[in-house]
Structure 1
């Protein structure tokens, strides 16, 4: 059996992105179709850096499901653990609006649920999860059963192995239940995150997501709270304000890489895949964060997410250009 550099578990589907920007969805005339879902995007981003990446997820037995499998393979991701569920909901579709530089609302068509939330503990490739050099899962997978039980089983199988990553990705629509009062969905997500953080060794999230989990709105305090929750590396992304990472012994902050934003939705996934690559390469934390930040910026300047993920050479070339420019000043 192939031992993967990364096994990621979670959301997969189809993104339909508008080709007309600066208008609302009802005014959009044409769309382009892409592989989507944060876990899928992270595996693609990692594969683009020459890593062996596999996705644990599920699709329906439909046209979009076939598209997902084909795109994963074409983009270098092992789809052997992406199940096909024949008697469940359709493969999900996500629409968005594009108002660069910082407004990209999304509509998730995952009703009443999605195949990737129907993964069961019994269906998991536990050996592949256990033996992978890195494992990535997101908070979304803990939002519903049986996916919640499957994600917990995967984390238990990892037994806090190095590079067991919890992505604090929070989409409120997945957590809402009928009759909820304001704040109930957030409280539900927070309680699940607290448990999962005890089994993870790395936490990654934007500042709003870190605040949801820790109650801290200041980046350094939020990162310290994540360390106190059980992880060994806490990474807080802050968009144009850069990124901050803390370990018990080290604090590193890097500035955001400037970019003309086209679509900001895939930047975090590109950052995640590049972060995994840097950590697996044994780079120091500052080099890893610079590399990941440039990878995220490159995707933010492009339309798609999965197909926009940069190669190592693209990221290194941009870093080299910056170093040359800085040296000339």
Structure 2
């Protein structure tokens, strides 16, 4: 019998298109890098980088970008057997602008609908999900059907076996109607998301989120009150990310950890929270005491914040150990320059790629709630950098 996976994640996937220079507006960028993206997928990559057997449940378009994502997952050592294609929707693409230390606007192209929201219940391998040592799901998976029902079915199949992590992952622009408008980020109708979050929390053993996400889930912004509300809602461990104030972790048994951020010279804060998530999984699987887990996850997030990309920036064990020992932050291998394409009719360097015929991607410029342009974001992994936004 095949051994169970250490980590199975379920949720978003896409292609991140990042400028290869920082401090340049998107309208003026002429050189981009292409990377595997999507929060749940990045968490699987982060866990795999730390030596864990990881897989992701998600969907792509039936297109060249979908092919690229399969290739990238395999190169990162993440099992892609549950990554399937949807014929009628293109693979999502996300552009960003990089203005260190704290301004990273995102532009999501997920219209008319992202394939990763087309995960159907009958397609789930519930035996594998039930057997996984950690199952990781996200709030975005609850925003639309059939992903919503599939996510809740997967949670029910877990029956609180092993470790089940609910990444609160509040993305208002992905929710339908008034719930998802920019005007509802700070206040407004959140009844539907809160009800769905409550359903998921009943099945989760670990809840992870920043203060905005905690407010959506349980109506609390104070870190201590939010953590206790998450425990009351069903979690055994609540992890509240507070940006420049660090991380508060509170366990049902009374154990707590208040961990300060790891100072870092920020290059790109996108992906720091996903590195935190993968390292959190690694530490929980190792059985470490709570403060050690949080310090390890903070260090992993800080490393990614000091690098340009997300998935390819996820640290290895020796790199996290180096930072925890007080050593210098390890440099990431340089991003390779884009190759020259000499095919007849190919677009010149810097030109936009063709998109699938008949599709018109929708743009959703996004600065998640709690991300002011002049202050570190509460989406942080607990480093002094902004946290994962992809």
Please give the TM-score of this superposition, normalised by the length of structure 2: 0.80
After superposition, the Cα gap between the structure-2 partners of 1:98 and 1:180, relative to the gap in structure 1 and judged at 3 Å, is closer
Q: Separation in 1 of the partners of 2:179 and 2:207?
A: 31
SS in 2 for 1:7: strand
Counterpart in the other structure of 1:147: 147
Deviations along 1:107-141, whole A, 9 cap, x unmatched? 11000211110010000011110000000000000
Counterpart in the other structure of 1:164: 164
Query: Is the contact between residue 173 and residue 180 of structure 2 (CA under 8 Å) also seen in structure 1?
Result: no
Asked if 1:313 is matched to 2:314, the reply is no
SS in 1 for 2:216: helix
Counterpart in the other structure of 2:21: 20
Note the C-alpha offset of 1:30. Answer: 1.7
Mark the runs of 5 or more structure 2 residues left unpaired by the alignment: 329-390
Q: Separation in 1 of the partners of 2:12 and 2:287?
A: 28
Deviations along 1:48-104, whole A, 9 cap, x unmatched? 11100000001111110000000000001000111122x220010001111211121
Asked if 1:29 is matched to 2:34, the reply is no
SS in 2 for 1:127: helix
Asked if 1:215 is matched to 2:219, the reply is yes
Counterpart in the other structure of 1:235: 239
Q: Separation in 1 of the partners of 2:322 and 2:19?
A: 30
Note the C-alpha offset of 1:176. Answer: 3.1
Larger proportion of helix: 1
How many residues end up aligned between the 2 structures? 322
Counterpart in the other structure of 2:126: 126
Note the C-alpha offset of 1:286. Answer: 0.5
**Higher RCO (CA < 8 A, seq sep 6+):** 2
Mark the runs of 5 or more structure 1 residues left unpaired by the alignment: 324-329
Note the C-alpha offset of 1:179. Answer: 9.5
After superposition, the Cα gap between the structure-2 partners of 1:208 and 1:322, relative to the gap in structure 1 and judged at 3 Å, is farther
Query: Is the contact between residue 259 and residue 300 of structure 1 (CA under 8 Å) also seen in structure 2?
Result: yes
Q: Separation in 2 of the partners of 1:125 and 1:175?
A: 26
SS in 1 for 2:265: coil
Please give the TM-score of this superposition, normalised by the length of structure 1: 0.94
After superposition, the Cα gap between the structure-2 partners of 1:100 and 1:10, relative to the gap in structure 1 and judged at 3 Å, is same
Q: Bigger CA drift: 185-194 or 250-259?
A: 185-194
CA RMSD of aligned residues (A): 1.6
Query: Is the contact between residue 93 and residue 109 of structure 1 (CA under 8 Å) also seen in structure 2?
Result: yes
Asked if 1:75 is matched to 2:76, the reply is yes
Counterpart in the other structure of 1:262: 267
